[in-house]
Amino acid sequence: MSRLRFKAVEEASKHTPVEIAAPDGLPSEYYGKYVFNRKRMAKYLSKETMKTVLEAIDKGATLQREIADHVAAGMKMWAMEMGATHYTHWFQPLTEGTAEKHDSFIDYEDVAGGDIIERFSGKLLAQQEPDASSFPSGGIRNTFEARGYTAWDPSSPAFIVDDTLCIPTVFISYTGEALDYKAPLLKSLSAVDKAATEVCKLFDPSVKKVFSYLGWEQEYFLVDQALYDARPDLSLTGRTLMGHESAKNQQLEDHYFGSIPPRVAAFMREVEFEAYKYGIPLKTRHNEVAPNQFELAPIFGETNLAVDQNLLVMSLMEKIASKHNFKLLLHEKPFAGINGSGKHNNWSLGTDTGVGLFTPGKTANENLQFVTFLVNTLMAVYKHNALIKASIMSANNAHRLGANEAPPAIISVFLGTQISAVLDKIEYSSEDDDITVDELKKMKLGITHIPEVLIDNTDRNRTSPFAFTGNRFEFRAVGSSANCASAMIALNSAVAAQLIDFKKIIDAKMKQGMKKEQAIFDTLRIYIKECKPIRFDGNGYSDEWKEEAKQRGLDCETSVPLIYDAYTSEQSVHMFESINVMSKKELHARNEVKWETYTKKIQIEARVLGDLSINHIIPVATQYQSVLLDNLYKMRAVFDAKKAEELSKEDASLIEQIASHISVIKNSVDAMVEARKVANKIEDAREKAIAYHDTVEPFFNTIRYHVDKLELIVDNEMWPLPKYRELLFIS
């Protein structure tokens, strides 16, 4: 009798919506309360300091130490008024998530000791040395014996969590290599700003800056805390490694359209209240397709800030979930047989003059600019499709991509019929056509009405990993637990490099005396032809597409460790180095970290799966088998042999089935342990990850299949783990 499971089910059934107190006033009144934003700066900094800081933020200028001292003083005053006693440099190591080390403001008043005071200087604000030896660095630090340090990113505002002032920082080694996501992200944003601004000047010389925008949609699951605690696989790996599908899942799609369960609604409300206090403009909340799956999304913002806000929201959600007796699951595939979770990255570029570069315009000039950015993005994604896939790939996300519910592990771009028609018009226009602004007007590319049509949601393709949605691209293959920065680094870098190439070509053509419009038009025509293989509007889930994508030469690799090779291909190294985002050394080091992380994840899953199978499942199956045997034995004692055989035919068959499942499970676990032993001896991080992928992971499905079969046979009263039907339906 499985007491643990039933106790958990009982406890979960007692949980009711948690009462939450709404903050005083409207969101607009407490919005940004915990953030050292421009409003607070104006109050706590001198005019002079404020001006210099804003310049650093807007133009990327370096801040002098003296200014940092002033900012630190203002920040400290505000933080202490808010009740903060500690501060931390908040950074984004390659392990995903964020890291922090808290220090108190207290210090001795003078070197001789004695009384203490609260101190926070520009030096402490600007730079810190976390004891970072335990953060993965792919050998950069070991090899160069350089410690890492964190450095303040003034473009993302400091904020207060509980009693701690958190300062967003980059994390780099003393030899200058990035050990985190933020450092290369900032470089990629600056690269795309520069490259895109140059291209914009072809159309509007007054443009001085181009921003990259990100609007993320975060999907997640909630399960009851008590049930979660009774599932060692969920607690240790973030996903269920076994569990037969519930008879009712998402077939009826009733969850997607259904109302939000009251316990969850209370959780969502509290997340929103808190997020507003952090200046995170959460806008949307709803149920997702799978039972217990939900989504939230803010209004989009500048990419660096949006990335930080996503990380902050993930940790807020985790904290708030436990207050509501939930466990938040950010894993990409917590449950087999139902949808996994992604994090759609809505991405666009926009100028300081307020023009969205993926928003079709009203004039011929605006529309030529729109098509220019659209086609260059297609080219970037086409050239770097393997890299862009690598940027979102992980052991977790591999379960989601390629399954019949999420984009496949092939990057393609959906444009929809209207935009495709526009590109076709350009492609099939004659090379001899003389293109002038007037000509463009005459050609009527038919762009003017496109945004309305698309925003009306008439032409959307849910199976595409990278879809144009009217005024932006929606990169849907990003994983729910990932740091958005990884995808944003690859995408913004690829687009920056592409725009630089484009601008060079246009400049050269114009130098030869060609008119600007003609030069642009001719180049776009060539690009449209060249990048055609990346365009796909059909069903991305179909097997035919996998075949066709191969024919088209798109990257179709499915093995995670091999997908990472795209980071260190000659093409990627050249691209990243040419725009100063990452060096070859950094790219190699970061891949080491990715391979190690992959290996560790599979290793942990293999151990948990082995333990659960041997210690939880087989003993219970054997116990039930012996109940059946006992019954059979008694039949024989009571009835004559013929009758007994007749009556116990079903029992005998079940006994044999159980024996056969147990035997496959036991043999597979043994073989998996052996495969692990062999893999563990491999020194090279890449080879080891490949061994884990090729020789360890394949056992997971076999073991799971037979465990799930046992779940259907063994007496429900005995089964030790909460079942899917118990885990998945919050009332």
Cα–Cα distance measured from residue 713 to residue 709, given in angstroms and rounded to the nearest whole number? 7
Question: At its nearest, how many Å lie between Mg ion and the CB of residue 26?
Answer: 28
Judge whether 291 and 725 are in contact, CB under 8 Å.
Answer: no
Question: How far are the Cα atoms of 111, 130, 468 from residue 107, in angstroms, in the given order?
Answer: 9, 18, 54
Site string for ligand ADP, 427-466 (x = CB under 6 A): ----------------------------------------
Question: At its nearest, how many Å lie between ligand ADP and the CB of residue 298?
Answer: 6
Q: Answer with the entry of ligand ADP, Mg ion, none that 348 interacts with (C-beta below 5 to 8 A by kind).
A: ligand ADP
Question: At its nearest, how many Å lie between ligand ADP and the CB of residue 381?
Answer: 16
Shorter beta-carbon distance to Mg ion: residue 44 or 216: 216
Among the listed residues 214, 210, 185, the one whose alpha carbon sits nearest the alpha carbon of residue 198: 210
**Residue number closest to Mg ion, CB atom:** 344
Number of Cβ within a 10 Å radius of residue 432:
5
Judge whether 519 and 215 are in contact, CB under 8 Å.
Answer: no
Site string for ligand ADP, 212-251 (x = CB under 6 A): -x-x-x----------------------------------
Among 394, 397, 471, 523, binds ligand ADP (CB under 6 A): 471
Cα–Cα distance measured from residue 528 to residue 379, given in angstroms and rounded to the nearest whole number? 8
Query: Do strands 293-298 and 282-287 pair parallel, antiparallel, or not at all (unpaired)?
Result: antiparallel
Collapse the DSSP code of 260 into the 3-class scheme (helix H, G, I; strand E, B; otherwise coil) and give the result.
Answer: coil
Question: At its nearest, how many Å lie between ligand ADP and the CB of residue 444?
Answer: 25
Using CB under 5 A, which residues numbered 195 to 254 contact Mg ion?
217
Site string for ligand ADP, 353-382 (x = CB under 6 A): ---x--------------------------
DSSP label of 648: T
Binding residue count for ligand ADP, defined by CB under 6 A: 14
Q: Nearest 5°: CA angle at 257, between 397 and 342?
A: 15
Q: Answer with the entry of Mg ion, ligand ADP, none that 471 interacts with (C-beta below 5 to 8 A by kind).
A: ligand ADP
The upper half-sphere exposure of residue 506, i.e. CA atoms within 13 Å in the direction of its Cβ, equals 23
Question: At its nearest, how many Å lie between Mg ion and the CB of residue 98?
Answer: 24
Q: Select the span of 296-304, 400-408, 489-497, 723-731 touching ligand ADP (CB under 6 A).
A: 296-304
Judge whether 268 and 730 are in contact, CB under 8 Å.
Answer: no
Shorter beta-carbon distance to ligand ADP: residue 166 or 484: 484
Shorter beta-carbon distance to ligand ADP: residue 154 or 342: 342
Shorter beta-carbon distance to ligand ADP: residue 477 or 632: 477
Site string for ligand ADP, 611-650 (x = CB under 6 A): ----------------------------------------
Interaction between residue 303 and ligand ADP (CB under 6 A): no
Question: At its nearest, how many Å lie between Mg ion and the CB of residue 266?
Answer: 25
Question: At its nearest, how many Å lie between Mg ion and the CB of residue 301?
Answer: 16
- Hey, which residues does 718 pair with through a beta bridge? none
Shorter beta-carbon distance to Mg ion: residue 430 or 457: 457
Q: Which phi and psi angles does 382 have, rounded to 5°?
A: -65, -55
Interaction between residue 472 and ligand ADP (CB under 6 A): yes
Using CB under 6 A, which residues numbered 62 to 101 contact ligand ADP?
none
Question: At its nearest, how many Å lie between ligand ADP and the CB of residue 392?
Answer: 17
Question: At its nearest, how many Å lie between ligand ADP and the CB of residue 296?
Answer: 9
Interaction between residue 348 and ligand ADP (CB under 6 A): yes
Judge whether 257 and 42 are in contact, CB under 8 Å.
Answer: no
Cα–Cα distance measured from residue 309 to residue 238, given in angstroms and rounded to the nearest whole number? 22
Interaction between residue 342 and ligand ADP (CB under 6 A): no
Cα–Cα distance measured from residue 647 to residue 636, given in angstroms and rounded to the nearest whole number? 10
Interaction between residue 389 and Mg ion (CB under 5 A): no
Q: Answer with the entry of ligand ADP, Mg ion, none that 300 interacts with (C-beta below 5 to 8 A by kind).
A: ligand ADP
| Amino acid in position 308 | D
Which long-range contacts (C-beta less than 8 Å, at least 24 apart) are formed by 54-58?
Answer: 56/154, 56/155, 57/154, 57/155, 58/209
248, two tokens = 């009712």
Question: At its nearest, how many Å lie between Mg ion and the CB of residue 279?
Answer: 23
Question: At its nearest, how many Å lie between Mg ion and the CB of residue 476?
Answer: 7
Which sign does the torsion angle of CA 516, 521, 522, 527 carry?
positive
Q: Which phi and psi angles does 217 have, rounded to 5°?
A: -115, 120
Q: Select the span of 57-65, 297-305, 517-525, 673-681 touching ligand ADP (CB under 6 A).
A: 297-305
Q: Select the span of 66-74, 211-219, 249-257, 264-272 touching ligand ADP (CB under 6 A).
A: 211-219
Q: Which residues of 115-149 are buried (b: 16+ CB within 10 A; e: fewer)?
A: eeeeebebebbbebebebeebbbbebbeeeebebb
Cα–Cα distance measured from residue 17 to residue 263, given in angstroms and rounded to the nearest whole number? 4
Kindly report the three-state secondary structure assignment for every residue of 274-301. HHHHCCCCEEEEEECCCCCEEEEEECCE
Return the residue matching tokens 């709404």: 22
Interaction between residue 148 and ligand ADP (CB under 6 A): no
Shorter beta-carbon distance to ligand ADP: residue 325 or 471: 471
Return the residue matching tokens 């964020």: 98
Collapse the DSSP code of 479 into the 3-class scheme (helix H, G, I; strand E, B; otherwise coil) and give the result.
Answer: strand
Question: At its nearest, how many Å lie between Mg ion and the CB of residue 341?
Answer: 13
Cα–Cα distance measured from residue 65 to residue 320, given in angstroms and rounded to the nearest whole number? 38
Site string for ligand ADP, 43-62 (x = CB under 6 A): --------------------
Q: Answer with the entry of Mg ion, ligand ADP, none that 294 interacts with (C-beta below 5 to 8 A by kind).
A: none
Shorter beta-carbon distance to ligand ADP: residue 373 or 595: 373
Among 50, 264, 297, 381, binds ligand ADP (CB under 6 A): 297
Q: Select the span of 8-16, 333-341, 346-354, 488-496 touching ligand ADP (CB under 6 A).
A: 346-354
Kindly report the three-state secondary structure assignment for every residue of 121-155. CHHHHHEECCCHHHCCCCCHHHHHCCCEEEEECCC
Residues near 294 by beta carbon (within 8 Å), at least 6 away in sequence: 219, 220, 221, 222, 260, 264, 268, 285, 286, 287, 288
Among 134, 235, 284, 716, binds ligand ADP (CB under 6 A): 284
Question: At its nearest, how many Å lie between ligand ADP and the CB of residue 345?
Answer: 9
Question: At its nearest, how many Å lie between Mg ion and the CB of residue 342?
Answer: 9
Shorter beta-carbon distance to ligand ADP: residue 49 or 351: 351
Radius of gyration of the chain (CA): 29
Question: How far are the Cα atoms of 256, 292, 420 from residue 259, in angstroms, in the given order?
Answer: 8, 12, 37
Residues near 264 by beta carbon (within 8 Å), at least 6 away in sequence: 222, 294, 326, 730
Q: Select the span of 64-72, 294-302, 440-448, 718-726 touching ligand ADP (CB under 6 A).
A: 294-302
Interaction between residue 344 and Mg ion (CB under 5 A): yes
Q: Answer with the entry of Mg ion, ligand ADP, none that 213 interacts with (C-beta below 5 to 8 A by kind).
A: ligand ADP
Cα–Cα distance measured from residue 372 to residue 68, given in angstroms and rounded to the nearest whole number? 41
Q: Answer with the entry of ligand ADP, Mg ion, none that 297 interacts with (C-beta below 5 to 8 A by kind).
A: ligand ADP
Question: At its nearest, how many Å lie between ligand ADP and the CB of residue 168?
Answer: 21
Shorter beta-carbon distance to ligand ADP: residue 480 or 572: 480
For binding to Mg ion (CB under 5 A), which residues are involved?
A: 217, 344
Q: Which residues bind ligand ADP (CB under 6 A)?
A: 213, 215, 217, 284, 297-300, 346-348, 356, 471-472
